[in-house]
Structure 1
Amino acid sequence: LKAAKREKVSQDVEGPYCKIGVSCMQGWRWFMEDAHAVVADLDTKGMAYVGVFDSHISPRAAQFCAQNMHARILDRAPLDDLGLVLHKSFMDMDGEFRGTIKDPSDPDSVFRAGGCTATVVLLSDRGTKVTVAGVGDCRCVASRAGVAEELSRDHKPDLPDERERIEAAGGSVTFGRLKDLNVSRGIGDYRLKIPADLPPEKQQLSAAPEIREATVVGDPGIEFVVVASDGVWECRSSQEVVDFVRGKLMESESQGGPLVSRICEELMDSCV
């Protein structure tokens, strides 16, 4: 591209226990790789849901997850063990997306379907608990009194535990990549979900999410949470993003409160 595509699609929603702002921008990518979904009141108890999905090769996987992940979570009600619910929902998405491929026996069809990274955040227990599930490198970061706390981990092939799994499954890591991917977990990319007779947790590319939980209340408590694709994290560290967002929130307090999506837009503009 000769110039970054800065057109944005933004949204603000408010639930019983939180305000959520989202924005997406294509930037320097050849196509819009990212998709997201926000539900401020997912169940009768006021649970909030945010999902961020970053596709590669084709936008199909990210769009599919954005359209369906939250529904699969609700299918697993009662939502008592959120970690288990999220794990099973990610497995559902990986299996269901495979079913969208017209000819899954054709290697070219499988390749062109691509895949995506995914991070899902649930705010539950009347806004006091955050549960995060992720595969790949869409990162979730919380701010506690201005200090960044990463609530997800970037799954890169050269991480010791990820490399160990890949090599145990017969794969290899070269220049930090698993074949042509720079992530070691994701939805789709079935050509790398091998050996097929192994459980997802042991395949070269795993769809099994890493689950983390955090308490919102405390000393210090969580002020806000940022979830973004690698388009942000390749340009800004977790602490830099927290500093940016926190500064904008403080500025907006004197103007009657923030329009959160506007802060998202300004953050993205700072990355191109």
Structure 2
Amino acid sequence: MSIAVVHSPVFSPSPVFSKSSASSPIGRSLYASSSLSPSTVTPPPSTLCPLTLRRPIQTRNIILNGINEEPICSTSSTTTTTTPVLKRKRPARINIPMAALSFEPSLQTPRDGDRLDEVEVEGEGYSVYCKRGKRGAMEDRYSAFVDHQQGSKQAFFGVFDGHGGVKAAEFAARNMGRNIMNKVGVRSEEDIEAAVKEGYLTTDEEFLKQNVRGGASCVTALIHKGKLVVSNAGDCRAVMSRGGIAEVLTLDHRPSRESEKERIEALGGYVDCCRGVWRIQGSLAVSRGIGDAQLKKWVIAEPETKTVFTEPDFEFLILASDGVWDKVSNQEAVDTVRPLCIGVDKPHPLSACKELVNLALTRGSFDDISVMVIQLSHFVQ
């Protein structure tokens, strides 16, 4: 994972909220990854190896970022004067998040004051690339789990686009997969879509109890016993490549969508166009998602879900936040990713993620952008 700290004097609110109704606090970044031990701070060699020693010292190993280094200095126990022997240190290990091989996420939180500029991850059968936008701290999050404990490969993947703060996206990344799998475990195979729905609603209920503002759009993919179950609540989207043809598996939930507009108005709300964007109550530009307590009467967490049986011509699945889809069409996204993933001796899905993000950036996207490419052939039975 490449992380750069960027100093910016200007922070503006999330574009999902109108300026008059909400402002976005700067959140802390959190991604599903393996637990990483903090680096052990080693004093400079000058303090470890004085030129003159009055007593013998014991040889010991210095641990640096989990790497056993040779002793920085050593001496015989029978000598009273030591000339230091300095060994060149290896560079510190780069901490790259890896997915946990279970449905229980392990998480890494940056130190106070840190801000992620980009995140790149390569896992088992998937790759992720996230790029901070130009409006403030990154509010996108993701989660990814692969499980081998049931005799076949199962997996859960998600992309979460926060607005009005990062807390809802962080909470969904931590809890959505576990909540869905808990429901799947107690329901029959025929009720898997109902289990996913309950997992979304449970995650929403748990987050609302935190009494924290903000919300998050969600798109998830569950691979379970030969089925691909794709769900969304909000404007994150899932697009699959099937023999090179883009197949859209989700529909965006925005107030401009006629069915969503009718649902909101039937509940006593209103939808209007504010500075060129359709919003609920003149405020929010998405109509479903996790959180948004102040608009919960109209912004529901119930997902729409599509289930298909995995087939050999399923090539890859793209999960991405609206920072991509506002600038790139579904087929363009497939055409950008496919040359780096299909028909090559060594696929480069992480490079494909970056190419898609860069395409959106060159077309003027200012939003946070997250792209996950899942190689479906890795999970076909």
Q: Is TM > 0.5 for Structure 1 vs Structure 2?
A: yes
Residues of 2 paired with 1:153 and 1:48: CA distance? 22
Cα deviations by residue, 1:104-130 (Å, 9 ceiling, x for unpaired): xxxxxx6xx1000011101122xx421
Q: Distance in 2 between matches of 1:231 and 1:2?
A: 22
Indicate conservation of the 8 Å contact 2:116/2:137, yes or no.
no
CA distance in 2, matches of 1:216, 1:34: 28
- Unpaired segments of 5 or more residues in structure 1? 102-109, 195-203
Q: How far apart are residue 266 of structure 1 and its match?
A: 2.3
SS at 1:40 equivalent: strand
Is the contact made by 2:241 and 2:317 (CA closer than 8 Å) also made in structure 1? yes
Within-5 A mapping of 1:61-76:
61-76=168-183
Aligned CA distance change for structure 1 residues 205 and 181 (closer, same or farther; 3 Å): same
Conservation of the 8 A alpha-carbon contact between 2:218 and 2:234: yes
Other structure's SS at 1:270 match: helix
Counterpart in the other structure of 2:147: 41
Counterpart residue number, 1:124:
224
Task: Tell me how far apart the structure 2 counterparts of residues 173 and 258 of structure 1 sit (CA, whole Å).
Answer: 45
Equivalent residues in 2 for 1:1-272, closer than 5 Å: 7-14=117-124, 19-41=125-147, 44=150, 45-76=152-183, 77-78=185-186, 80=189, 81-101=191-211, 113-125=213-225, 128-175=226-273, 176-179=278-281, 180-194=283-297, 204-217=298-311, 221-250=313-342, 253-254=344-345, 257-272=346-361
Shift of 1:265: 1.9
What's the offset of the Cα at 1:2?
8.9
Kindly provide the amino acid, as one letter, of the partner of residue 118 in structure 1.
C
Query: Which structure carries more helix by proportion?
Result: 1
**C-alpha distance after superposition, 1:94-149 (max 9, x if no partner):** 10001111xxxxxxxx6xx1000011101122xx4211111001100001111111
Question: Are the equivalent residues in 1 in contact too, given 2:234–2:252 (CA < 8 A)?
Answer: yes
TM-score by length of 1: 0.83
One-letter amino acid matched to 1:189: D
TM-score, normalised relative to structure 2: 0.60
Amino acid at match of 2:269: G
Q: Which amino acid aligns with 2:279?
A: R
Shift, 1:184, TM fit: 0.8
Cα drift, residue 41 of structure 1 = 1.6
More deviation in 75-84 or 62-71? 75-84
**1:106: which partner in 2?**
none
Write out per-residue CA displacement over residues 55-80 of structure 1, whole angstroms, 9 at most, x where no aligned residue: 00100000000011111122221463
- State the alpha-carbon separation in 2 of the partners of residues 119 and 172 from structure 1: 25
Aligned length, in residue pairs: 241
In structure 2, the residue corresponding to 1:74 is in which secondary structure? helix
- CA distance in structure 1 between the aligned counterparts of 2:207 and 2:9, rounded to whole angstroms: 33
Structure 1 vs Structure 2 CA RMSD:
2.1
**Contact 1:20–1:40 (CA<8 Å) still a contact in 2?**
no
Contact 2:116–2:138 (CA under 8 A) maintained in structure 1: no
Secondary structure at 2:147's aligned position in 1?
coil
Runs of 5+ unmatched residues, structure 2: 1-7, 11-114, 362-381
Helix, strand or coil at the partner of 2:300:
coil
Q: Secondary structure at the match of 1:263?
A: helix
Instruction: Return the offset for 1:29.
Output: 3.2
Q: 1:93 to 1:238 in 2, by over 3 A?
A: same
Contact 1:42-1:49 within 8 A present in 2 as well: no
Write the distance in 2 (CA, Å) between the matches of 1:160 and 1:250.
37
CA distance in 2, matches of 1:95, 1:42: 30
